[in-house]
Amino acid sequence: MPSPSEIQSMLPLYFQLLFFAVAGALIVGVFFSIVGWFFRNAIVIMIIVAILFAINYGYIDLTKLFGAVQYDNASITNLLQWQ
């Protein structure tokens, strides 16, 4: 049986071990919860990435989708020179 002074001298190491065990469990738990969330929502994430890809490469034209007004360079030049 260790004496009280030996136990008292080992307490910082015990608390350090306890801290790293709890911190490691939290890190692993957070990692697995994030991976699980991505796994559950994989189809939605793939659809969003495909839509962004299509918008970026011009397969989806947002100006036609939202009815934006398109000006050509000549009309912009005329607007800038208007007095």
31-69 tens-digit pLDDT? 999 999 999 999 999 999 999 999 899 888 887 777 766
**Predicted local distance difference test score (pLDDT) of residue 61:** 83
Other Cβ atoms closer than 10 A to 60: 13
**Predicted local distance difference test score (pLDDT) of residue 41:** 97
- Residue bearing tokens 């994989």: 42
pLDDT band at 72 (very low <50, low <70, confident <90, very high): low
The tokens for 36 are 């699980």
Domain that holds residue 70: 4-81
Q: State the average pLDDT over residues 13-36.
A: 96
The domain tally of the chain equals: 1
